[in-house]
Amino acid sequence: MSLLSEESPVMVKTRELCATIAGDATFLKLTERVEAFLDDDAARLQYQSVNERGEELHHKQSSGIELSSREIREFEEARDALLANNVARNFLEAQRELETLQRSIGKYVGMTLELGRVPTADDFAQAQSGGGCCGGGSCGC
């Protein structure tokens, strides 16, 4: 039986993990924040505007063009206004937490595949310090 077949123990446990995540109260609150943002046209437009302006300034700066103090001030004011918007701020916080969750789960699974066993706290500490798998470059990740 393939590890990826629907009936394999790996896929059964993967679905159980997904069900646990989807049913978690904190996860549900985070998704509510995302949905509230998606339902708020003004917050989405404000977010998009700040994001686009930030990209423009970044491109300009990476092209060697010096940003004026006015451009920087206007961007910072727009960003501050975005962060003052509760719906947008809650969305950004939820997005950050969900991305962290996804990365953490990915690290666990990735290290399990590399090590051939469940990683320990020591494995993660060693990887972060640059030694061993996923930090020292010896495992190809």
DSSP code per residue over 55-112: HHHHHHHHTTPPPPHHHHHHHHHHHHHHHHSHHHHHHHHHHHHHHHHHHHHHHHHHHH
- What would the mean pLDDT of 35-53 be, rounded to a whole number? 98
Has residue 2 been placed in a domain?
A: no
Has residue 3 been placed in a domain?
A: no
Has residue 67 been placed in a domain?
A: yes
Has residue 4 been placed in a domain?
A: no
Give per-residue pLDDT as tens, 47-102. Answer: 999 999 999 999 999 999 999 999 999 999 999 999 999 999 999 999 999 999 99
pLDDT band at 138 (very low <50, low <70, confident <90, very high): very low
Q: Which residues contact 101 (CB under 8 A, 6 or more apart)?
A: 21, 27
Has residue 84 been placed in a domain?
A: yes
* CA gap 76, 69 in Å, rounded: 10
Has residue 136 been placed in a domain?
A: no
User: What pLDDT is attached to residue 1?
Assistant: 72
Q: pTM here? A: 0.79
Q: Total structural domains in the chain?
A: 1
Whether the per-residue pLDDT at 130 is higher than 90: the answer is: no
* CA gap 55, 65 in Å, rounded: 14
User: What pLDDT is attached to residue 131?
Assistant: 58
Has residue 140 been placed in a domain?
A: no
Instruction: Say what percent of the chain tops pLDDT 90.
Output: 82
Q: Which residues contact 132 (CB under 8 A, 6 or more apart)?
A: 123, 126, 138, 139
Whether the per-residue pLDDT at 132 is higher than 60: the answer is: no
Whether the per-residue pLDDT at 137 is higher than 80: the answer is: no
Has residue 7 been placed in a domain?
A: no
User: What pLDDT is attached to residue 3?
Assistant: 86
Provide the residue range defining the domain that includes 45: 26-128
